[in-house]
Chain A
Amino acid sequence: MKRTLLAVVAIVLLIAGAGAQDKVIKIGTLFPLTGSVATAGQRCQAAVETIVDIINGIYPDLDLPIAKKAGLLNGYKIELIKADHQGKPDVAKSEAERLYEQEGVFAVIGSYNSSASKPASAVAERLQKIFMCGASSSAALTERGLQYFFRLAPTDRIENVEFAHWIEELNKVKAAGIKTAAVIYENTEFGKHAADEAKVVSAKMGVKIVADVPFTPGATNLNSEIQKLKAARPDALFAAVLGADYSLMIRTMKQSAWKPKMAINYCGGYQDPKIAEQMGKDGWGFMGSAGYTPEFGSRFMKAVAPVEKYYKAKVGVPFDTEKVAQVLRTTTFDSPLSMGGKVQFGPDGQNIKAASVISQLQNGSYVTVYPYEFKDGDPIFPMPNW
């Protein structure tokens, strides 16, 4: 997720930078810097700030043209204006308005929570400004016919197709016998759409959904939620649970002495290494999608150079949203940062080359288990008991 953001910001900045009138380009960031998913928001913010530092400063040790000189092209510096939407859709909307209208940013990068990206990008559309979305996974976001909304990250729908393949594979190879599943999800844009996708995909595989459990994020306990799941005895659990709720979910599962054969997570708490570390052994065995693992990361730096060169040649145009958007719509970018290897936006603004892998937390590290061409370990199945 973090790497995806780096890719997003690199592209926006490179394109935007090409035609700026003055020597500063303002880019807004809109993440949940406080609130119950603040950990993730802070990490997104840090990712963006990292690449901006690399662009603005001189880093001879990095194998990257943008690192070796200060600024972009003829010395254009990036100025980040950061905003915090606290994980709240209404705040996201008003902060997006502030960024575009008062701060005068060229584009906004955001917003982690799908529920925040939705209203914020609607503001961008109304003002005809670019909204770059790195890590919101609700497939519905790119089904709104927006012209200025671009998303790099894979959606829950893309991930679901993979989940389905994976479960079919497990049924075949490990004789997993997964016939029933349950979904637990936060009752938000992200959670609801992830759950809808899970239901569609389960129906396709002939897996029966035996429990459908939405919950209020930031809850004081998840007792009734877990009891409901436990009572339904599903073979597999699909979870769309963020941040602190994720750790609470696992703790409550453990206290209720319940574990399904497998649990697979949409992006969220599972992906947060900090939470994984703090949960210790309790978090092991859970699986989830991942847009990034270290092996892919090691290929990172080689990627950005050709992108910059490409845009230097191609975009010698003024600082114009319409033209930048046009380039975004019509070009295929190289992007080894992402699993897909390339970035190409469909007419709906979704990156159609987006892909992710399925990982499992084993002995404290994220092991890629599927698809097989990327795997660096075998899955542990079924999950060992508490």
Chain B
Amino acid sequence: MSMLIQVVLDGIWSGLLYGLVAAGLSLIWGVMDVLNFAHGEFLMAAMYVSFWLGFLFKLDPLVTWIAAGAFLFILSVLSYKLVVKRTMGKAMAPLLATFGLSMLIKNFAMNRFTPNFRILSDTVMDGKSIIFGEVVIPVPQFVVGIFSLVVLGALYLFLTRTRFGWAVQATAMDAEAARLMGVNTERIFLLVFGIGGACVGVAGGLLPSYLATHPDIGTLFGLIAFMVVALGGFGSIPGALLAALIIGLVESLAGFYFAPVYKYVAVFGIYLVVILVRPKGLFGW
């Protein structure tokens, strides 16, 4: 029994992390119809920010997530201005452009920082865990989970309870109509892209407390984030959270009770089934 609780909890932590990583992607897609292919690399960039601050100035990821979030906000805004804005509305163009951007970021990291794995040791949360009898709760994953809930909650409230959030929703539904109603859609796009990047920045800022940083780290996370977004319904924050939890739990349960090597098979399998049965995703419209 305690094993089941352990496995379910592990699934929840992974799920919450995936949710935090995917939130920005979902927001950007929902509002702008742009699939940011560089999302995984944004995560990697944030991890490097946090790693270097930790390595050079001995700052803990518990603090540097702020810097990583801010840096990613700026990086995202620049990406929007320089890449996305010029390609939006031209069929596949934004997709290909952000794909190019992902290559650029990844190879920049490879060139500047080498492909070495970089591990932050002696962080505040490093290797700590809370033990209840047989059940172990790893502190870093737990804290990332809390952050995920807070960030997703804040994002949801922001979108549904504020004037700016309504404007974002209006823009998402029909950008032209929103523009006619006096919404500055250009500003909305810019901020949405920035906020989306900042969300993944927070995730990336926290991750070096237990994950090695290297230029390839974003690839699988990026892929899972796409799945979360597609599964939850494009643009839906609660959908993303639910989908992320499903993916985390499927991964963990299949990994433990079936075979670890099939955990991603199970995850992608569920995804295929959902997409076949309900192409718009669980919460999509």
Contact = CB atoms under 8 A, between A and B. Distances in A.
A35 B216 contact: yes
B49 interface: no
Interface in B3-27: 3, 6-7, 10-11, 13-14, 17
Chain A binding surface, main DSSP class? helix
A215 interface: yes
A255 B210 contact: yes
Contacts of A187: 261
B260 A213 contact: yes
Task: From B7, B10, B114, B212, name the one whose CB has the most chain A CB atoms within 10 angstroms.
Answer: B212
Given A227-B6, A254-B127, A255-B129, A38 B116 contact: yes
Contacts of B13: 223
Chain B interface size, under 10 / 10 to 19 / 20 to 34 / 35 or more: 35 or more
A223 B127 contact: no
Contact of B117 (A214, A222, A244): A244
A91 to B, nearest CB: 14
Contacts of A221: 10, 14
A39 B117 CA distance: 7
A259 to B, nearest CB: 12
A348 interface: no
Contact of A216 (B114, B217, B263): B263
A168 interface: no
Given A231-B3, A255-B127, A247 B119 contact: yes
Interface string B214-234: 111101110010000000000
Nearest to B114: A42
A173 interface: no
B256 interface: yes
A247 B7 contact: no
Contacts of A97: none
Contacts of A225: 255, 260
Contacts of A247: 117, 119, 212
Contacts of B219: 218
A224 B256 contact: yes
Nearest to B261: A214
Interface stretch (A6-14, A57-65, A278-286, A313-321): A278-286
Interface in B127-178: 127-129, 131, 136, 138-141
Contact of B116 (A39, A214, A218, A228): A39
A279 B261 CA distance: 25
A214 B214 contact: no
Given A36-B216, A278-B117, A224 B260 contact: yes
Interface in A209-261: 213-216, 218-225, 227-228, 231, 243-244, 247-248, 251, 254-257
In this complex, the member of B115, B122, B128 whose beta carbon has the largest number of chain A beta carbons within 10 angstroms is B115
